[in-house]
Chain A
Amino acid sequence: MTAAIPDGEILVGIYQRMTRIKQNDERFRAVLKSGKLVMPYYSPRGQEVIPSAVSACLTDEDYICTIYRGVHDMIAKGIPLKDLWAEFGGRVTGTCKGKGGPMHVTHPATGVMVTTGIVGSSMPIANGLALAAQIRGEKRVSIAYFGDGASNIGAFHEALNMAAVWKLPVVFVCQNNGYAEHTKYAYGTSVPNIAVRAAAYAMPGITVDGNDPIAMYRTAREAVERARSGQGPTLIEAKTFRFHGHVFGDADAYMDKGEKDAWIAKDPVPLFRDWLIATGLASEDQLAAMEAAIAREIDEAVEFTLNSPYPDVAELKRDIYKDEVTA
């Protein structure tokens, strides 16, 4: 691994994903507050760096499985915003015709294969995506995103063991935001770092600062290349923090206020923005133009969603089986 700073274009690309996630999150929360859309919403604010850096190592051919707090993973992987927003709005123009919703977004064109609402279930399925690639001799890599709470579920252990035994081209990316729903990490987890659990499955386990774009990118790059070259899986534990609690409307009473404020003071999005400008990798004008373009894209996505129709009731009989249900 080189200590040199990654290519500037890659870093600006990571920032572009980060600011895209941040702006979308801000708009989702604003639209929810306005009452124009109603949905269960799990804000990823504060966790922008992780999928932005991981996605910088991936192509559309690579697969991800993510979870209910996964809108940042989806945006980073490249789902078009109109399709994404319309799905969150339950509209027929959404990725899944409005039948999946925020917790079940699928978009095969960008490799977003499964979004699960069940803690721990992204990992066994990511193995299967990787298994298909391995059997077919494809160079695709699969990413399983999940949270720290999911590392205490049996499926995590079954999946990591199987991936190691079969040397599957999969990277397990644990976004450790310090809380399993309302329960603080240390209260429910036996080890100080989830990455040490990788040793039980004879795979590399790396704890990384998930809010440091360069460290996150280097770690992801190495794991993705390892998977792509047939050397097997890696467990990455990316330490981070969620700024808005478990679910939209969460009062955060279980959280120490000082803890949250300290993380928000280190908000990775403006910090990275300042760094890019200070190092000369990007200019203020360039980033401002990028941000304005994203804001316009979101405006269009919101308008598109609010003007889109809901799915027809006939959809209740479709997509249950290949053939429409007649009963």
Chain B
Amino acid sequence: MNQAAKLNSIQAINLALDDAMAADENVIVLGEDVGDKEEGGIVGVTRGLSGKYGDSRVRSTPISEQAIIGAAIGAAIVGMRPVAEIMLMNFTTVAMDMIINHAAKLRFMSGGQTHVPMVIRTMTGAGFGTGGQHADYLEAWFAHTAGIKVVAPSSPADAYGLMLSAIEDDDPVLFIENMPTYWNPGPAPERGKKIPLGKANVLREGGDVTLISYSRRVLDCYAVAEKLAADGISVEVIDLRTISPLDSETILASVAKTGRAVVVHEAVKPFGVGAEIASQIYESLFAQLKAPVQRVGANYAPVPFSKPLEDAHVPGLEQIEAAVRATLK
């Protein structure tokens, strides 16, 4: 990889949308502020697209989340591939009827006569002091619903490749972008290279403990793994990339090897994705486990505003390290 070729996630997702729109005229983009007159979104992910592809295919919408998702569903049913932006993940709550009762279920309820090839882009994440209604990780709600896929990349290159696959996918995909790490540069993706949905990435190989995560917290897991290597602890890091459908095969193969597992996410710990993963590990590998599965997640509370509280709320490097060490006792 050319070290000079770096992109951040904003640029990588923009590039994926650009490439998808160039390749398929059925790809359209709609959401609040997505057009160039509105600066291509509050952080500029869609900047330049309406200028290039026109206001018909790239539409800034009213602040009407139900109408945005409804329009995307209707267009998708008749063969378009809409990428609908719901600015912040908390705002998906306003459109839950459209997402859960319709987008996720229409293929099943129609007996396969219709399907909804739609992507919902949304950003979230604590760290910017946005408080209780702008930073939640709500992926467990969606993963709990059959019929919608949930994708959460951890790097710019992954965001690019996963977005290409999400747009091409024939089912609805919720695509979760982490806001605080939007501007982190990373190696540029190979142009046109798709990353398959439903496949986890073994980011770092190791033999003692398996660390499983997705989205921003993969970066923390990787940092902890590097640190523990100095103490002679060999940590395997799995980046799920897709939360649902879950790549159980990769998870179980790794834990079968290490006998120890820690699941880490920024969402609150109780009833989270970590609980599902821990259950699957117990169901398949109970006798082979060398220690109980550990879960690390946010405090069971709304995301607080005050900086020291916000920092204490989300899982930190120390907690992840402690959880890994706990499996080795």
Chain A residues close to B by CB (< 8 Å): 63, 65, 94-100, 104, 106-108, 113-114, 116-118, 121, 123-135, 142, 154-155, 158-159, 161-162, 165-166, 318-322, 325, 327
Partner pick for A319 among B59, B70, B111, CB 8 A cutoff: B111
Residues from chain B with a CB closer than 8 A to the CB of A124 are: 66-67, 69-71, 73-74, 98
The CB with the most chain A CB atoms within 10 A, among B70, B72, B106, B112, is that of: B70
Contacts of B28 in A (CB 8 A): 135
In the complex, are the beta carbons of A129 and B75 less than 8 A apart? yes
Q: How far is the CA of A321 from the CA of B72 in the complex (A)?
A: 18
Give B127 Cβ to nearest chain A Cβ, in Å: 31
Closest-CB distance, A320 to chain B (whole angstroms): 5
B61 at the interface (CB under 8 A from A): yes
> Given the complex, which residues of B lie within 8 Å of A133, measured CB to CB?
78
List the A residue with the shortest CB-CB distance to B114: A106
Between B66, B79, B82, B115, the greatest number of chain A beta carbons within 10 A of the residue's beta carbon is seen for B66
Please, which residue of chain B has its CB at the minimum distance from the CB of A127?
Answer: B71
Selected contact of B115 from candidates A134, A159, A322, A327, CB within 8 Å: A322
What's the minimum C-beta distance from A96 to chain B, rounded to whole angstroms? 3
B97 contacts A128, C-beta separation under 8 Å: no
How many angstroms between the C-alpha atoms of A127 and B70 in the bound complex?
A: 7
Which B residues form the contact surface with A (CB < 8 A)?
28, 56-57, 59, 61-62, 64-67, 69-80, 82, 97-98, 101-102, 106-115, 146-147, 149, 169-171, 245, 248
B107 touches A319 (CB 8 A): yes
**Are A128 and B110 also in contact (CB < 8 A) when A135-B28, A161-B62 are?**
no
- Assuming the contacts A121-B102, A124-B69, A125-B70, asked whether A158 and B64 have C-beta atoms less than 8 A apart, the reply is yes
**How many inter-chain contacts with C-beta < 8 Å in the A-B complex?**
151
A113 B62 Cβ-Cβ under 8 A: no
Q: For B170, what are the chain A residues with a Cβ–Cβ distance below 8 Å?
A: 322
The answer to whether A106 and B110 have CB atoms under 8 Å apart is yes
Interface contact B62-A130, CB-CB below 8 Å = no
- Nearest-neighbor residue (CB-CB) of A99 within chain B: B111
Residue of A whose beta carbon sits closest to that of B244: A321
4 additional A-B residue pairs with CB within 8 Å, beyond A132-B74, A135-B56, A321-B171: A95-B110, A114-B102, A162-B61, A325-B146
Query: What are 27 residue pairs bridging A and B, where the CB atoms are less than 8 Å apart in the complex?
Result: A95-B111, A96-B110, A99-B111, A106-B106, A106-B110, A108-B114, A113-B114, A114-B114, A118-B102, A124-B66, A124-B73, A125-B74, A125-B98, A128-B73, A132-B74, A132-B78, A134-B56, A135-B80, A155-B67, A155-B70, A162-B61, A318-B112, A320-B146, A320-B147, A322-B107, A322-B115, A322-B171
Q: Is the CB of B77 within 8 A of A158?
A: no
Q: B101 contacts A107, CB within 8 Å? A: no
Decide: B109 and A96 in contact? CB cutoff 8 A. Answer: yes
Q: Is the CB of A158 within 8 A of B74?
A: no
Q: Chain A contacts of B71 at CB under 8 A? A: 124-125, 127-128, 131, 162
Rounded to whole Å, the gap between the CB of B70 and the closest CB of chain A is 2
CB distance from A302 to the nearest CB of B (A): 21
Contacts of B61 in A (CB 8 A): 162
Give every chain B residue within 8 A of A132 (Cβ-Cβ). 74-75, 78-80
A166 partner, pick from B59, B65, B102, B115, beta carbons under 8 A: B59
Q: Are A127 and B67 in contact (CB under 8 A)?
A: yes
A108 vs B112: C-alpha distance in the bound complex, in angstroms?
11
Instruction: Give Cα distance in the complex from A89 to B195, angstroms.
Output: 43
In angstroms, how far is the closest chain A Cβ from the Cβ of B44? 23
Nearest residue, chain A, Cβ from B61: A162
3 tightest CB-CB pairs across the interface, nearest first? A128-B74, A124-B70, A96-B111
| Interface contact B76-A128, CB-CB below 8 Å | yes
A97 to B146, CA, bound (A): 18
CA distance A308 to B113 in the complex (A): 20
Chain B residues positioned under 8 Å from A94 (CB to CB): 111
Distance, CA A154 to CA B69, complexed state (A)? 14
Residue from B57, B78, B98, B107 having most chain A Cβ neighbours under 10 A: B78
Write out the residue numbers on chain A whose beta carbons fall within 8 Å of the beta carbon of B75.
Answer: 128-129, 131-132, 135
Q: Which of B28, B65, B74, B98 has the most CB of A within 10 A?
A: B74
Question: In the complex, what distance in Å separates the CA atom of A127 from the CA atom of B73?
Answer: 9
Q: Which chain B positions have C-beta within 8 A of A319?
A: 107-108, 110-112
Chain B min CB distance to A143 (Å): 12
| Interface contact A99-B109, CB-CB below 8 Å | yes
Q: Which of B64, B66, B107, B110 has the most CB of A within 10 A?
A: B110
B102-A320 in contact (CB<8A): no
The chain A residue with its CB closest to the CB of B108 is: A319
Nearest chain A CB to B103's CB is how many angstroms away? 10
Verify B113–A108 contact, CB threshold 8 A: yes
A159 touches B56 (CB 8 A): no
How far is it, in angstroms, between the C-alpha of A135 and the C-alpha of B29 when the chains are bound?
A: 12
Question: When chains A and B are docked, how far (Å) is the Cα of A107 from the Cα of B113?
Answer: 8
Cβ contact within 8 Å between A158 and B73: no
CA–CA, A142 and B77, complex, Å? 13
Query: Shortest CB–CB separation between residue A97 and chain B, in angstroms?
Result: 4
Q: Is the CB of A123 within 8 A of B70?
A: yes
Chain B residue, CB-CB nearest to A311:
B111
Q: Distance (Å) between the CB of A101 and the closest chain B CB?
A: 8
Residue of A nearest to B170 (CB): A322
Q: In the complex the two chains form, what is the Cα distance from A135 to B101 in whole Å?
A: 26
Cα A140 to Cα B146 in complex, Å, equals: 32
Bound form: Cα–Cα A128–B103 in Å: 12
Q: How far is the CA of A131 from the CA of B71 in the complex (A)?
A: 7
Chain A residue at minimum C-beta to C-beta distance from B70:
A124
Q: Write out the residue numbers on chain B whose beta carbons fall within 8 Å of the beta carbon of A161.
A: 62, 64, 67
User: Known interface pairs A118-B101, A124-B74. Does A155 touch B79 (Cβ–Cβ under 8 Å)?
Assistant: no
Hey, which chain B residues are within 8 Å of A127, CB to CB?
67, 70-71, 74
